């Protein structure tokens, strides 16, 4: 028989109430919600849905011990990262596990909430994300056929999801990785049913196949995300880096020129600035190659990223894995500073570049 888990909800506002409703579902039958915690003095000692607001966040250690709390769930989606970090510091002084609810619904008029999940790095930052894709800018790409290379990767897939809200005529997702492409197609089918999404299993190194796809669908915009990006791997396999990041990119660019594609966006990296490795050099070479193209029909745009939070194989997931395995946490150089952006911000930057680029 599964043991009952005593749960405390941190936050007695709308999110806390919706979370309580969620936890009353049969799949959480082993969860026993003991009460709420809230810093609002007006709520202390009151009852919410027959459960008492037991104290403030600073009193959490005493409450956890008194009620044998096994799980503390943070339900304050509007809280800034500093507040979440403070709460976590307090929770970690106890024996309670912890989770949170997604912040995404905080500005939406809905009466349901997603299941609680583990704390992510984004919860500790929670910098406000300004949606740069206004209705006017979205109209710029409405009814367009759009091709994304590397569509099944972290950035490529997020671009697909963002574009789905712009009402394109069709999104063509091209990738050489079969399983991630299959998963992307499933997600698009489930969450963006109104959008025509066509998955294409192909490699940008195959120029003939690439030309066949572009001629068949005649996209107006190409977002070129496909690339090998791991610095260490590319140092070990420089030939593969050249074949994919350089020759593969040249294939896409040349076909875009031949077919008079209206707009072409190349996703580059900050490692292309004074490159010191083969991966950064490969991106810089393509940047220069694009700058040397002269076309009256095709507009070229280049977007450079720094570190993208939680993208596949990026620094943060690697650091998390190292910590979970007991350390040490390895960095390239102690003098290095890293600047992060979210996947959502990265995708919007790429799309905005395609709209504003001249």
- Residue-level length of the chain: 358
Instruction: Tell me which residues are annotated as active site.
Output: 271
Burial 53-88 (b: 16+ CB within 10 A, else e): bbbebeebeebbeeeebbbbbbbbbebeeeebeebb
C-alpha–C-alpha distance, residues 208 and 227, integer Å = 18
- CA nearest neighbour of 69 among 95, 46, 92: 95
Strands 71-74 and 307-308: unpaired
What is the chain's percent helix, strand, coil content, to nearest 5? Answer: 40, 20, 40
How do residues 100-155 score in pLDDT, each as one tens digit?
876 544 433 334 445 555 556 565 555 555 565 667 777 788 899 999 999 999 99
C-alpha–C-alpha distance, residues 174 and 93, integer Å = 48
DSSP codes of every residue in 133-200? --HHHHHTTTT-EEEEETTTSHHHHHHHHHHHTT--SEEEEEES-HHHHHHHHHHHHHH-TTS-EEEE
**In CATH, what is the architecture of 5-125?**
3-Layer(aba) Sandwich (3.40)
- Does this chain's domain 5-125 share its CATH topology with 135-356? yes
CB of 285 closer than 8 Å to CB of 248:
no
C-alpha–C-alpha distance, residues 346 and 207, integer Å = 28
3-state secondary structure at position 118: coil
Residues lower than pLDDT 50 in the chain: 104-113
Q: Please count the helices (runs of H) and the strands (runs of E) in the chain.
A: 14, 14
- Give phi and psi for 260, each to the nearest 5: 55, 45
C-alpha–C-alpha distance, residues 348 and 331, integer Å = 29
Residue 90: strand pairing partners: none
- Rounded to two decimals, the pTM is 0.72
Q: What is the pLDDT of residue 313?
A: 64
CB of 76 closer than 8 Å to CB of 56:
no
- CA nearest neighbour of 76 among 92, 56, 59, 61: 56
How do residues 228-272 score in pLDDT, each as one tens digit?
998 999 999 999 999 999 999 999 999 999 999 999 999 999 899
- CA nearest neighbour of 44 among 100, 83, 35: 35
Residue 48: strand pairing partners: 51
Q: For the chain, how far is it from start to end, CA to CA, in angstroms?
A: 65
Burial 127-149 (b: 16+ CB within 10 A, else e): eeeeeebeeebbebbeebbbbbb
CATH class of segment(s) 135-356: alpha beta
C-alpha–C-alpha distance, residues 345 and 252, integer Å = 25
For the chain, what are the domain ranges? 5-125, 135-356
Q: 311 to each of 306, 314, 352, how far by Cα in Å?
A: 11, 6, 20
CB of 37 closer than 8 Å to CB of 54:
yes
Q: What is the pLDDT of residue 109?
A: 37
CB of 354 closer than 8 Å to CB of 148:
no
């Amino acid at each position: 028989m599964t043991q009952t888990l005593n749960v405390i909800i941190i936050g007695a506002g709308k999110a806390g109430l919706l979370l309580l409703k969620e936890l009353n579902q049969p799949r959480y039958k082993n969860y026993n919600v003991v009460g709420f915690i809230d810093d609002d003095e007006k709520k202390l000692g009151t009852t919410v849905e027959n459960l008492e607001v037991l104290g403030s966040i600073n009193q959490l250690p005493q409450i956890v011990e008194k009620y044998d709390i096994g799980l503390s769930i943070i339900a304050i989606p509007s809280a800034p990262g500093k507040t979440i970090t403070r709460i976590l510091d307090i929770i970690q002084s106890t024996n309670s596990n912890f989770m949170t609810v997604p912040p995404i619904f905080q500005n939406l008029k809905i009466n349901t909430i997603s299941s609680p999940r583990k704390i992510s790095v984004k919860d500790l930052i929670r910098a406000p994300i300004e949606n740069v894709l206004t209705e006017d800018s979205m109209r710029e790409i409405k009814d367009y056929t759009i091709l994304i290379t590397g569509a099944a990767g972290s950035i490529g897939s997020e671009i697909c999801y963002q574009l789905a809200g712009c009402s394109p005529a069709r999104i063509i997702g091209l990738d050489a990785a079969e399983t991630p492409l299959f998963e992307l197609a499933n997600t698009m089918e489930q969450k963006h049913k109104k959008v025509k999404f066509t998955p294409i299993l192909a490699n940008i190194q195959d120029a003939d196949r690439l030309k066949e796809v572009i001629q068949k669908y005649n996209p107006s915009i190409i977002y070129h995300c496909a690339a090998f990006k791991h610095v260490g791997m590319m140092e070990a396999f420089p030939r593969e880096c050249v074949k994919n990041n350089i020759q593969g990119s040249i294939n896409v660019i040349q076909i875009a020129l031949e077919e008079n594609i209206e707009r072409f966006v190349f996703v580059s990296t900050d490692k292309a600035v004074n490159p010191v490795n083969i991966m950064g050099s490969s991106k810089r070479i393509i940047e220069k190659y694009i700058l040397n193209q002269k076309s009256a029909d095709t507009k070229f745009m280049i977007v450079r990223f720094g570190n993208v939070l939680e993208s596949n194989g990026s620094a943060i997931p690697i650091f998390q894995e190292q910590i979970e395995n007991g350390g040490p946490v390895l960095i390239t150089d102690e003098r290095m500073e890293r600047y992060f952006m979210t996947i959502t911000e990265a995708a919007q930057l790429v799309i905005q570049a395609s709209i504003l680029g001249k």
